Structures are given as structure tokens and as C-alpha cells.
Chains A and B, each alone.
Chain A
Amino acid sequence: MQLSTRHLLGIKDLTKDDISLILSTAEQFKEVLQRPVKKVPSLRDVTIVNLFYENSTRTRFSFELAEKRLSADTINFAASSSSAAKGETLLDTVNNILSMKVDMVVMRHSASGAPHFLSQHVPAAIINAGDGINEHPTQGLLDAYSIKEKTGSLEGRKIAIIGDIMHSRVAQSNIYLLKKMGAEVTVCGPPTLIPKYIQSALGVNVSYHLKETLEWCDVANVLRIQLERQNQVLFSSLREYNLAYGISRKMLDGLQKEIVIMHPGPINRGVELDSDVADSKQSIILQQVENGVAVRMAVLYLLSGRNAS
């Protein structure tokens, strides 16, 4: 069984079978990570560049660890300390790197569609590590993996995505993936942070009431307010946001059932999540990070075939 695509540009392009294959392969890599020797030789002959045009800690470390645990050779590129700062174009930078015999490119970029552009112009396999406000496919996959691991399946599961939906590539990848796998999705947040046509375009429910949404869902995936992507005032203050959409211990204790709390990080404590929620046993935030390495190993492994083209 193979993936239907050479690149991982977004969940949008994946089939249900692709997603199932990545998740089941990730399960086997999770087993690898529990062993005395936490690596396998599968990608010994593969070189991967991590091209980060935008800041990242978690995703970059996660990809780098995944690559090392597959025995790949890796090189890292941060735009701030490279020739991109001297005016080199994206395509020139990548072609220069590829001429040094690099096989795969993991890229994060602030421009939506940058990895799609790249995939049309270079021969290497491209993995999107987050592009602007479009998609963050490996985050979507690791969230799905974590939900499946914690609750048993995705089919019929009720998932709420709460917060800044408008600027979130995580929300978009999650929605595509969860809908493809048969889950029900509700997005919840202030009206100014939810795209107007999302209900008809992506087939999700929209709610502006946090309490109702939490009563409905099995899992709440809570997003960060992306102040760096907002160029206008969309809510009056962080304190007011916290009062209307922040999740507190008291609120969770008032629900009829125990829901699962997720967050892709970095958390703004006291804004979207209170500390006693983020650190509670209902929260699987650190398991998400742990699963991220296994899921990225699965993606890299499955895309590493040279004959795929």
C-alpha cells in the first residue's frame, strides 16, 4: 500500500486511505520510540533539509527528531540567519540546496501556498510544515492520531475546535481530516475570528457559545490567538477574550461528562486555557507532542520512495 501523493502539501489532497495508512504506520513508529534503541535504519540514504522561513520550536524539533530516528541526514535552514535575508528568492535557495544532493524538503513559510509553488518547480518531495493561514498537515495528522489513541476512533466523534479559526492553519487541516474520517466538527469562537462561509464551505457547525459547545463535544481542540497574523482589532482585549472563550476548571467541572482537552501549542496560559486546565489529567497536550514525532516519521518514511514519480 502506498500514498496517492508524492508530497504532503495539505490534508485537502489526501484520501481517506492515505490518512489511515499514515496513522497505522505512525502506530508502528510509536513502538520504535519505546525501544532501547529508538531508531531504525530506513532513511539511511536520504538527506532532508528543514527550511524554516517562520519561527518554530516544537515543529522544527519534532521533524528533526523524526528524521534522526529514521537515520536520515539532516540540514537546517532558518531564514533569519541565511542568504534569504540578503534577497535570494525561495526557488534559488531551494535549487542551491538541492544541488548538494538533498532528497526531501520540509518547509514552513508565512505565505500560504509556498510549498505548492515549490512542488511544481523542484524534483524533491515537499512536506508542508505550515504555510501561512492555509494548512499544517502534520499537526492535523498528529491531532487525529492523538484523538484516536485516546478515544478509540474518529468515526462519529464530536470534535470542537475553539478560538481563532480565521487565522489558523491547524484548524483548517483538522477540519479537512476529521471530516474525511467521519467525525463531526464544530468551530467555536468570537464571530470576528470565524470565517463567514465556513459552514457551507467546509461542512462544519458554527457556534459562538463556549459552554454549549463544550456540552456537545467529546474533544475540545483549543487554539492560540494568533496576534502575529491579525492586522486589525478583532476583539477588545485578551482579558475579555478569556472571559468569553477561555476554558476554566470551573467550567469543565460543571459539564455532564469528562471531555478531552487538546492544544497545538504554544499555549497562552490565562488567555485560551487556564493553567489548571492545561495541566489537568483531561489534557493530552504533551501526548500530542510525543505523538508528533511518530506521525512525522510515518510521513517521511512513506514519502521517501524514489520511484514514486
Chain B
Amino acid sequence: MDAGQLKTAVDKLAKEIKAQMSDPENTLFVGIQQGGVVVADGIIQALQQLDPAMKIQYGQLDITFYRDDIRNAILAPDKMNLPFSIENKTVILIDDVLFTGRTIKAALDALLDYGRPAKVQLCVLVDRKEHRQFPIQADFTGITLETTKTDKIKLLNGEAVLLQ
């Protein structure tokens, strides 16, 4: 997928989110470190272009301390930045690739340590549907890809690359 196709997918997600968003003031956008933050940056930019007057609240969530495979590899954490209260708000979690669902499970665990949101929705750029290990589905999906389990998808320099 080249940069142009990625941009199209991101714009599509921004439009879908905007169409569905009933209460922008109580909606928070949260990108998951690191790939999700890249996608979230793009979506925020697209939303701002669609509606320059919209006040967007945006933060970044790091799940390192919540990973269920922490014992296999101790990883250095990324920056956590949630400069708002999530209490009773709608949180739109944004990630790059939805694969097994474990990252999202960890992200939900991390998010709930900051309070009790009214609702959490999930937005992903790429959905690798057939490999889910947890009952987790996206509310907004950019592209659905058929992949084999050993494939790896990475965002590199503004392009999504399939590493086989």
C-alpha cells in the first residue's frame, strides 16, 4: 500500500468518524503507541481539514506495562500522554493494525486505569480479521486484508509494508 492509498484510507476513516460523532465536546481521540499514533495524527489532521472549527482532544496511550507477553521480552516504554479526564467521555482508540486483539485488550486495561469512560470505540487502519485471538472488533476500519498468520505489516515512512 503506497502513501496515496494510505491517505485515502485515513480520509475515509475521518469522514466515517465525523458522520457518527454526536457530541464532539465529549469525544476524546487516543492513539496507541507507536504505529497507532502515526495513524491518529493523520486522522486528526483530516478531521481538522473537514471541520477547521472543531476542537479536537487528542492523547497518546502506551501499553508496554500492560502487555500479556511481558515476561518474554522486557521492552522500554514509550510516552504516555493523556492530558484530559476520560471520566464519562467517549474514547475513540486508534491503532494501525488489528491482528490478534491482544494489543487492544492491553490498551483497554491501560485506559481504565485513568478512569471510567462512558464508551470506548475502536478505529483501525488495517484489519487482519481472520487472526483474532480475543473477541474484539473495530467500529471503524480502513482496509481489511487477507494475510497469513506469519505475515507482518508495518508502517514505514508513510507507507504500509507487508513483510512476508
Residue ranges of A at the interface with B (Cβ–Cβ < 8 Å): 1-2, 21, 24-25, 28, 31-32, 35-37, 39-42, 45, 301-302, 304-308
A305 near B74 with CB under 8 A, answer yes
Q: Say whether, besides A35-B113, A36-B115, A40-B65, A28 and B79 are in contact (CB < 8 Å).
A: yes
Q: Say whether, besides A32-B65, A35-B113, A37-B113, A307 and B72 are in contact (CB < 8 Å).
A: yes
Q: Is B156 in the interface zone, CB < 8 Å from A? A: no
Q: Is B70 in the interface zone, CB < 8 Å from A? A: yes
Residues of B within 8 A of A306 (CB): 71
CA distance A39 to B64 in the complex (A): 13
Q: How far is the CB of A27 from chain B (nearest CB, A)?
A: 8
Residues of A within 8 A of B74 (CB): 2, 301-302, 304-305, 308
Residues of B within 8 A of A45 (CB): 71
A41 in complex: contacting residue of B65, B75, B76, B77, CB < 8 Å:
B65
A37 near B114 with CB under 8 A, answer yes
CA distance A1 to B77 in the complex (A): 10
Report the count of interface residues on B (CB-CB < 8 A): 21
Having A40-B65, A307-B73, A308-B74, one finds 10 other A-B pairs with CB under 8 Å, namely A28-B62, A28-B65, A31-B80, A36-B114, A39-B113, A40-B113, A41-B65, A42-B70, A304-B74, A305-B71
Residue ranges of B at the interface with A (Cβ–Cβ < 8 Å): 62, 64-66, 70-80, 109-110, 112-115
Residues of B within 8 A of A305 (CB): 71, 73-74
The number of residue pairs between A and B whose CB atoms lie closer than 8 Å in the complex comes to 49
The DSSP consensus for interface residues of chain B is loop
Q: How far is the CB of B78 from chain A (nearest CB, A)?
A: 8
A36 near B71 with CB under 8 A, answer no
CA distance A148 to B109 in the complex (A): 31
A40 near B66 with CB under 8 A, answer yes
Q: How far is the CB of A302 from chain B (nearest CB, A)?
A: 6
Q: Which of B64, B71, B112 has the most CB of A within 10 A?
A: B71
- Sample 18 A-B pairs with CB under 8 A, ordered by A number: A1-B76, A21-B76, A28-B65, A28-B78, A28-B79, A32-B80, A35-B113, A36-B115, A37-B114, A40-B65, A40-B113, A41-B66, A301-B65, A302-B74, A305-B71, A306-B71, A307-B72, A308-B74
A25 in complex: contacting residue of B76, B110, B112, CB < 8 Å:
B76
In the complex, which residue of chain B has the Cβ closest to the Cβ of A70?
B65
CA distance A304 to B62 in the complex (A): 19
Q: How far is the CB of B89 from chain A (nearest CB, A)?
A: 14
Smallest CB-CB A-B distances: 3 pairs: A40-B65, A37-B113, A305-B74
Residues of B within 8 A of A308 (CB): 74
In the complex, which residue of chain A has the Cβ closest to the Cβ of B113?
A37
CA distance A24 to B72 in the complex (A): 21
CA distance A41 to B65 in the complex (A): 7
